[in-house]
């Protein structure tokens, strides 16, 4: 067998399936940074993200033999991360299923200049401060492309509740981002006043 460092992705997967610790370590080191970013979007904090990543890799290694290579390995693992994240919080009963749907139309401005000036960590922090149900719906819809029907089925909520939570999440994010930048602008303006 080739040294683990020189293995192609298909050979690395085969090594993982046969239980090679070297292959599993290489596989983990290759994909964990990408998958951890997804965990951070769904997790309430870094501790939960660490737990979700660990639980996901246990599932990935367990079911890697079932991967049929009909799509990308990254896409297959992403679905495991999303499902694991959802189940992680479902077990903790942190998702509020009793939010009544409302037909709220909240305009989200098309001005992305403010958002483009934010760092990845600042955006992630603002998203993580959303209530759990809002955060899950926002991530599933915005980042992972799930429809409201798919979200409803996955979270056991109605389509209208999913739409309402997405609207509320966007409104909350918009308000927090605007408040953050108004605060920063005030600090800048105060620092420019001569003493």
Mean pLDDT of the chain: 78
The answer to whether 135 and 169 have CB atoms below 8 angstroms apart is yes
165-181 average pLDDT score: 84
Q: Which pair of structure tokens corresponds to residue 71?
A: 């799509």
Q: What global pTM score does this model have?
A: 0.59
Is pLDDT above 70 for 121?
yes
188 compared with 74, residue with greater pLDDT: 74
pLDDT in the model for residue 32: 93
CB count within 10 Å of CB 120 equals 9
Q: What value does the mean pLDDT take over residues 174-178? A: 81
pLDDT of residue 118: 60
CA distance 74 to 60: 11
State the alpha helices, DSSP H only, in 92-119: 113-116
Residue 105's pLDDT band (boundaries 50, 70, 90)?
very low
pLDDT confidence tier of residue 129, bands split at 50, 70 and 90: confident
11 touches 2 (CB < 8 A)? yes
- State residue 50's pLDDT score: 93
Rounded to an integer, what distance in angstroms lies between the CA atom of residue 124 and that of residue 45?
10
Other Cβ atoms within 10 Å of 131 Cβ, number = 16
Q: Which domains does the chain have, with CATH numbers?
A: 1-94 (1.10.1740.10), 96-195 (1.10.10.10)
- pLDDT over 70 at 100, yes or no: no
Q: How far is CA 108 from the centre of its chain?
A: 21
The maximal CA–CA distance of the chain, rounded, in angstroms, is 71
């Amino acid at each position: 067998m080739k040294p683990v460092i020189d293995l192609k992705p298909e050979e690395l997967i085969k090594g993982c399936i046969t239980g090679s610790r070297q292959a599993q370590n290489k596989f983990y080191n290759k994909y964990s940074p990408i998958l951890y970013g997804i965990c951070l979007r769904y997790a309430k904090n870094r501790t939960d993200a660490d737990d979700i990543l660990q639980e996901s890799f246990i599932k990935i290694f367990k079911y890697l033999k079932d991967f049929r290579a009909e799509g990308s390995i990254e896409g297959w693992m992403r679905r495991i991360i999303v499902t694991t994240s959802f189940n992680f919080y479902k077990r903790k009963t942190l998702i509020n299923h009793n939010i009544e749907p409302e037909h709220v139309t909240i305009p989200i401005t098309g001005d992305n200049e403010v958002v483009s000036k934010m760092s990845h960590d600042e955006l992630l922090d603002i998203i993580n401060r959303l209530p759990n149900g809002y955060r899950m719906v926002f991530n599933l819809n915005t980042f992972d492309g799930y429809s409201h029907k798919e979200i409803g089925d996955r979270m056991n909520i109605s389509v209208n509740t999913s739409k309402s939570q997405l609207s509320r999440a966007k409104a909350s994010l918009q308000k927090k981002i605007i408040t953050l930048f108004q605060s920063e602008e005030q600090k800048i303006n105060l620092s420019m006043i001569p003493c």
